[in-house]
Structure 1
Amino acid sequence: MESFGIYVHIPFCRRKCFYCDFPSYAGAESWMSRYREALCREIAAQGSRCLGTARTVYIGGGTPTALAADDLLAVICALCESFRLTGEEEFTVEANPGTVDAKLLERLREAGVNRLSFGVQSFSDALLSAIGRIHTAREAEDAVRMAQKAGFRVSLDLMYGLPGQALADLKDSVARAAALGIGHISIYGLAVEDGTPFACMEEAGRLHLPTDDECGDMYDYITAELPHLGYRRYEISNYAKAGEESRHNLAYWQDVPYIGLGAAAHSYWHGRRMENEKGLCRYIACIEAGLSAAREEAPCSRENHIEEFAFLALRTADGIDKKRFRGTFASDVHEVYGEVIALLQAAGLVEETAVSIRLTEQGMKFGNRVFEAFLLERDET
């Protein structure tokens, strides 16, 4: 029986962060109960016709812990019942430190959740305020300690390249994260996305970001310091102590199928990619009418599949597994990418081992250049 992952989207937040372009809504509390009911109906429908074994479950957002505790627990209960979860799965819930307390964490742990991913972003109160976060640095530390006491594996997100951020700020945040003894740290560079408050501020000349050189210094610090602290870089933006890697995210990068549930959630199943209705109202209306909220994306050609396989695998430290590539596409990776691999090796961006093609440290730094090279030319006639 096929194994797969489950992703559940909770599109609510207490307040939208200034950099966020994810499909989520602040001030939509009146919709939460109807959304929970619709989501549980979709979960039941998908679980009833899904053969195979769920290996990972990830509830993301938005902010799942912005839901009322009873609503969130109802979603978790529906998942456990509909997909016949055994308790052996990696079961992650994203959380904002400003939306949890000891009682909620205790209930989540009792319900079968075993991993929490906290969006912290920085341990500077000034920076947290500048990017629109609702919690303080102290609240973040307290939330992590409560989660550890409750028995969770804990992951923590940080960001660099934030407006007004200096290298000293980042060093302090990394040190405070490591001092908490967590097993997993993700660090992302700020990208100013269209439609966000930061994009409007940038257009008005009011967004003062670190220079490219300053961001480069931050990147270099991260990639040197986290391994020194015992966190292995297993993906471009993700670092973990031994055995603490996110199994759910690794499955994405390893071409494992997954089911997406909730508004705007994506699925990858038997080579087909589906996307649920993005809009909250339209998603709920579809489910309440007994209709599927999923819409098939453009069919994935063999070339598309090869490109995605390569891009996602190259994000990881292990890179493209040559045996898995041949097993998936009935072609040797060199038959498809031989010239590209040779050019990138000469540039010091990829290296080849007996089992894989993978990015070098320099390749990790300039990943977009490598990914662009792995695009396949198509005959447009």
Structure 2
Amino acid sequence: MQWGVYIHIPFCRQKCFYCDFPSYAGKESLMEAYVEALCQQIEIQGFSYRQKWGTPATIYIGGGTPTALPQEGMAKVLQAVAEYIGKDIDEFTVECNPGTVDEGYLQLLKKQGVNRLSFGVQSFSDKLLKKIGRIHTGEEACTVVRMAQKAGFANISVDLMYGLPGQSLSDLQESVGQADELAVRHLSIYGLQLEEGTAFARMAEMGKLNLPSEDEAEAMYDYMTHRLPELGYQRYEVSNFAPKGFESRHNLSYWHDVPYLGLGAAAHSYLDGKRYAAVTDLAAYIAGIRQNHEIWQMEEEATREHAMEEFAFLALRTAEGLSGRAFADKFKTSLHAVYGKSMAKMSEQGLLSVDENGCRLTEKGFKYGNVVFEAFIFD
């Protein structure tokens, strides 16, 4: 059975100003205990699901900054994965911050079976990196990507952002050009979202955040979506681009209704059609694992209608779109019977391409995806 594993490492050297992920700076004193608890969870729950479903197709270690862990801590996690979840994973990704890895760390990852790296670069402009709270420079990002390639990593992803404070179109053009020059195999490009509780949200409330205008941000979006295919990066999901064969299999599993096990504090799981979330507090997570207490809480059980909505708009994020056959297989009813009117309306507006096999976003639809997703929510 196809399934995946997500492992959460919630530590950071410094909290980025835009980030609302469950991650913490200044918690280094908890790292050792956290690694111990995580390895125990991998041994118990990871091994249990491996016995049930076999070796997972994908593993993704994210954060936070996984490589904020000392090498010995990461080595323990990777050893536990190899022993209790499996070796020779088809796609095994670790997120890295350019300011937290060196040649020795990269060699450790490679030796332990990691075959894909995702670098959170965000920009190659030092001016912008400082403004958003990153700890690395553009030159350091270039150096570490080349170092990873030299260590034998052929599948490298880079995250970039647009719509950042003080960012211009030329800034984005230079970053895209630099990523292309480095010949990375995957690009994730996200527009800045002001999330509640972040430093940027507070700055915006005080009128101290100099964001690009809507027209400037739209120009960045248009540049990105037209230039990347010219460079060989095909869009396969709303924010993700890659040459054919280098799409993130793990992320695609999220959008294609594939089950996954989340391990670690704040990790989410999708198992047997139900969604679970682990406690976010690090001390509570560590104590819960040590004392064999329940650390997962099932999220509100989805109604049939909610399950249809989620299945639809997750699939619509991908270039493949929403398959009528897959929908019918899961819900035992036809896609057109449930969403025919919505699909027709979105098609008339040029946002959806509809045929007998299902529907998918048009170029315009990708740009205004939230309008389409809303049309697939029941009144």
Which of 177, 181, 184 is the matching residue for 1:179? 181
TM-score by length of 1: 0.97
1:224 to 2:226 alignment: yes
Other structure's SS at 1:49 match: helix
Other structure's SS at 1:128 match: helix
Rounded to whole Å, the distance in 1 between the matches of 2:30 and 2:169 is 41
Alignment of 1:205-220 (within 5 A): 205-220=207-222
Q: Which amino acid aligns with 2:346?
A: L
Residue 292 (structure 1) shift: 2.6
Unaligned runs of 5+ residues in structure 1 are none
Q: What do residues 43-63 of structure 1 show as CA deviations (whole Å, max 9, x unaligned)?
A: 111023211130000000000
Percent identity between the two aligned chains = 56
Unaligned runs of 5+ residues in structure 2 are none
Rounded to whole Å, the distance in 1 between the matches of 2:91 and 2:109 is 13
Other structure's SS at 2:3 match: strand
Q: What do residues 286-324 of structure 1 show as CA deviations (whole Å, max 9, x unaligned)?
A: 111112311111011111111111011000000001111
Which of 192, 212, 215 is the matching residue for 1:190? 192
Rounded to whole Å, the distance in 2 between the matches of 1:354 and 1:110 is 47
Q: Which moved more, 1:166-175 or 1:68-77?
A: 68-77
Instruction: State whether residues 97 and 143 of structure 1, in contact with CA within 8 Å, keep that contact through their aligned partners in structure 2.
Output: yes
1:120 to 2:127 alignment: no
Rounded to whole Å, the distance in 1 between the matches of 2:36 and 2:166 is 42
Aligned counterpart, 1:355: 357
Residue 256 (structure 1) shift: 0.2
Rounded to whole Å, the distance in 2 between the matches of 1:260 and 1:230 is 33
Q: Which amino acid aligns with 2:336?
A: H
Instruction: State whether residues 89 and 113 of structure 2, in contact with CA within 8 Å, keep that contact through their aligned partners in structure 1.
Output: no
Other structure's SS at 2:247 match: coil
Rounded to whole Å, the distance in 2 between the matches of 1:196 and 1:143 is 28
Aligned counterpart, 1:148: 149
Q: Which moved more, 1:353-362 or 1:164-173?
A: 353-362
Other structure's SS at 1:3 match: coil
Rounded to whole Å, the distance in 1 between the matches of 2:161 and 2:348 is 32
Q: What do residues 230-255 of structure 1 show as CA deviations (whole Å, max 9, x unaligned)?
A: 00000000000111100000000000
Aligned counterpart, 1:101: 102
Aligned counterpart, 1:18: 17
Q: What do residues 98-153 of structure 1 show as CA deviations (whole Å, max 9, x unaligned)?
A: 00101110111000000000000001000000000000000000111111111221
Which of 253, 256, 259 is the matching residue for 2:255? 253
Other structure's SS at 1:358 match: strand
Residue 358 (structure 1) shift: 0.2
Residue 354 (structure 1) shift: 4.4
Q: Which amino acid aligns with 2:202?
A: C
1:134 to 2:142 alignment: no
The alignment covers a number of residue pairs equal to 375
Instruction: State whether residues 350 and 360 of structure 1, in contact with CA within 8 Å, keep that contact through their aligned partners in structure 2.
Output: yes
Aligned counterpart, 1:92: 93
Q: Which amino acid aligns with 2:76?
A: A
Rounded to whole Å, the distance in 2 between the matches of 1:10 and 1:357 is 37
Q: What do residues 140-197 of structure 1 show as CA deviations (whole Å, max 9, x unaligned)?
A: 0011111111122100000000000000000000000011001100000000111111
Residue 89 (structure 1) shift: 2.1
Aligned counterpart, 1:33: 32
Q: Which amino acid aligns with 1:135?
A: H
Instruction: State whether residues 318 and 356 of structure 1, in contact with CA within 8 Å, keep that contact through their aligned partners in structure 2.
Output: no
Residue 356 (structure 1) shift: 2.9
Rounded to whole Å, the distance in 1 between the matches of 2:47 and 2:77 is 16
- Over 3 Å counting, the alpha-carbon distance change for 1:94 and 1:209 in structure 2 is same
Which of 291, 303, 307 is the matching residue for 2:305? 303
Instruction: State whether residues 18 and 195 of structure 2, in contact with CA within 8 Å, keep that contact through their aligned partners in structure 1.
Output: yes
Rounded to whole Å, the distance in 2 between the matches of 1:300 and 1:75 is 33
Q: Which amino acid aligns with 2:24?
A: Y
Q: Which amino acid aligns with 2:97?
A: N
Instruction: State whether residues 59 and 89 of structure 2, in contact with CA within 8 Å, keep that contact through their aligned partners in structure 1.
Output: no
Q: What do residues 69-103 of structure 1 show as CA deviations (whole Å, max 9, x unaligned)?
A: 111111111112111x2304200000000001011
Aligned counterpart, 1:111: 112
Q: Which amino acid aligns with 2:352?
A: V
Q: Which amino acid aligns with 1:87?
A: D
Instruction: State whether residues 87 and 113 of structure 2, in contact with CA within 8 Å, keep that contact through their aligned partners in structure 1.
Output: no
Rounded to whole Å, the distance in 2 between the matches of 1:264 and 1:251 is 19
Which of 343, 346, 362 is the matching residue for 2:345? 343
1:64 to 2:63 alignment: no
Instruction: State whether residues 5 and 55 of structure 1, in contact with CA within 8 Å, keep that contact through their aligned partners in structure 2.
Output: yes
Other structure's SS at 1:375 match: coil
Rounded to whole Å, the distance in 1 between the matches of 2:226 and 2:121 is 21
Aligned counterpart, 2:77: 75
Aligned counterpart, 2:245: 243
Residue 353 (structure 1) shift: 3.6
Other structure's SS at 1:336 match: helix
Rounded to whole Å, the distance in 1 between the matches of 2:89 and 2:133 is 36
Rounded to whole Å, the distance in 2 between the matches of 1:230 and 1:13 is 33
Q: What do residues 22-71 of structure 1 show as CA deviations (whole Å, max 9, x unaligned)?
A: 11110111000000000111111102321113000000000000001111
